[in-house]
Structure 1
């Protein structure tokens, strides 16, 4: 069993977005989008610090008001769409050292506090990187080449041959040492944490936002309804 040490939740939220301008603070059922991730991290009870790394003072102010810290603005070389999430998180670690890092995209508002705590518990038990995933269909992936389709990766055609999943971007848990090693989580046997599709919506476009809003309005008793109750209680 891995000894946890200090746990830092890092929420990367730069100002620029091509698919959905201002997406990290777009209104999502009465709150800025990023507030849902901050509230889930705080509610999980397993993060010693919830930190938002951003290049925007507006986002930083919203984050602090929601209960996170945002003690500095991200440098310019880590603020464009070419900067990797790993580089951004490593920069955060330099400013706010910790033993374990929980990376939470602000574009996954339907992820719950229980999802976060379960991922951290799995990491603590096994001592390996943990990545949240959702079920995926084993389709044939193609690209258009000179007006015709060409296969990129061909998966099994029979669903019963294997269980396929896809990272949903909601939760990543790594040790600080692993992040500094430069290794990729898919090369070291990361552990999957399975989430249902209704909690796996990743908002990057207006269409994604419409889908997330529709899921949020699902009938009472669903995960989205529970999220709404938690947020209402935190206001």
Structure 2
């Protein structure tokens, strides 16, 4: 709880991952991928309850073994390939209406720390924001990106007055890293998206912003974890 507001942490993990089958429970350094998120969420001094949203029996069993609450089973129609990501969040809030804020923590961000989680919550409340999402600085910049039309290069961003030649002269660019999404529950039920005009950005270090999407990402994760140990 923070500022007398009850905080629900939701970890979404469906069983039908296509890119990397069963990735949410794939073992990395003796821990299932989802356990890295469960462990950090349970350390939070603000989160009142950490719950799982899943339709998959094996994921449910693994999450329970690592201390995550499972107060409901996600309906199958909310675990399809084309299910909008916000729908399981709205479902969870309907099942647990007593919370004021929801914190969405995807298991594909295993390097996110409790300091990141609590830092984002503190920042959200310090700004009196209705929604806060985590971002990190991008290693790529749209100022050096192009479209190819009929074989010809065309700048993605047209700027005839300023030409950025040196990387150090480029303005910083930030991207969503998928690690933390925070929102007022009533606001989210109305907006049905974490990304709106009211959303503010919480900047995370890029070294903790790895998003597991393919096999190379698992190799990078193993490498990062080995450096930390």
TM-score computed with the length of structure 2 as normaliser: 0.86
Partner of 1:82: 82
Contact 1:34–1:107 at 8 Å: present in 2 too?
yes
The equivalent position to 1:154 in structure 2, one of 157, 160, 166, is 157
Answer yes or no: is 1:134 the counterpart of 2:143. Answer: no
Answer yes or no: is 1:66 the counterpart of 2:72. Answer: no
Count, aligned residues: 218
Contact 2:146–2:154 at 8 Å: present in 1 too?
yes
Partner of 1:106: 107
Map 1:1-235 → 2, pairs under 5 A: 3-97=3-97, 98-128=99-129, 129-136=131-138, 137-139=140-142, 140-141=144-145, 148=151, 153-154=156-157, 158=164, 160-182=169-191, 184-218=193-227, 225=228
Contact 1:142–1:149 at 8 Å: present in 2 too?
no
Contact 1:202–1:208 at 8 Å: present in 2 too?
yes
Consecutive unaligned residues in structure 2, runs of 5 or more: none
1:133-176 per-residue CA deviation (whole Å, 9 max, x = no partner) reads: 11113134556777x47769438763535321101000111010
Partner of 1:231: none
Let me know the Cα RMSD of the aligned residues. 2.3
Contact 1:86–1:179 at 8 Å: present in 2 too?
no
**Distance in 2 between residues matched to 1:62 and 1:153, nearest whole Å:** 45
**Distance in 2 between residues matched to 1:12 and 1:155, nearest whole Å:** 39
Distance 1:58 1:127, change over 3 A: same
Partner of 1:233: none
101-110 or 119-128, which deviates more? 119-128
TM-score computed with the length of structure 1 as normaliser: 0.84
Consecutive unaligned residues in structure 1, runs of 5 or more: 219-224, 229-235
**Distance in 1 between residues matched to 2:135 and 2:26, nearest whole Å:** 25
**Distance in 2 between residues matched to 1:80 and 1:134, nearest whole Å:** 29
Contact 1:4–1:124 at 8 Å: present in 2 too?
no
Say which one has the larger Rg.
2
